[in-house]
Amino acid sequence: MIRKINGRMKVFNGRAGLELTDNLRAGCDGMIPGIETIDLQVKIAEAMKAGREDEAEALYQKLIPAIAFAMQGLGAFLLYGKLIAAHRLGIEPSALRIPTDRPTSSGLEWTKRFADALGPLP
C-alpha cells in the first residue's frame, strides 16, 4: 500500500505500537500511540528517523511486554492501557466506563509491574 500511494498521503498505523519499528521500516510516517507509552514511542520514532535503529530496537524491547499484555483485545486495551497510563502518570485511575471488562487481581498486579518497568510519564 505504501509503495502504491508513492508519497501522495501520509500513512500511520496504530495497534498501540505493535510492530512499531518494522512499521517505520516499511515506510509508515508514524504511529498513533496511546498515552500509556507515548514517550517511548516518540523516542523510538526519533531514533529510527535519525538512523539509530539499535537504540530504537532497545527501546522497543522495553516497550513490547506492556503492549503485548494490553493488546489482547480491545476490551483489555481500554481497561489495562488506561491503568498503565494512570500508574505512569502517578494518578488514581478514573472509574470504569460501562460496559467494560473488569480487571482481574493478576491483571492489576501485571499492570503495575509493566508501568513500573516503563517508568513515570514525563
Strand intervals (E) in the chain: 12-13, 30-31
Q: What is the pLDDT of residues 27-59, one digit of tens each?
A: 999 888 889 999 999 999 999 999 999 999 999
What whole-number distance in Å separates Cα of residue 100 and Cα of residue 80?
A: 11
Strand 30-31 and strand 12-13: the pairing is parallel
Residue-wise burial string across 7-21, b where 16 or more C-beta atoms lie within 10 A, e elsewhere: eeeeeebeebbbbbb
**Structural domain count of the chain:** 1
Domain that residue 66 falls in: 2-118
Residue 13 near residue 23 (C-beta atoms within 8 A): yes
Give residue 109's pLDDT band: very low, low, confident or very high (50, 70, 90). very high
Q: What is the pLDDT of residues 57-94, one digit of tens each?
A: 999 999 999 999 998 888 888 899 999 999 999 999 88
CATH code for the domain of 13: 3.20.20.70
pTM of the full structure: 0.88
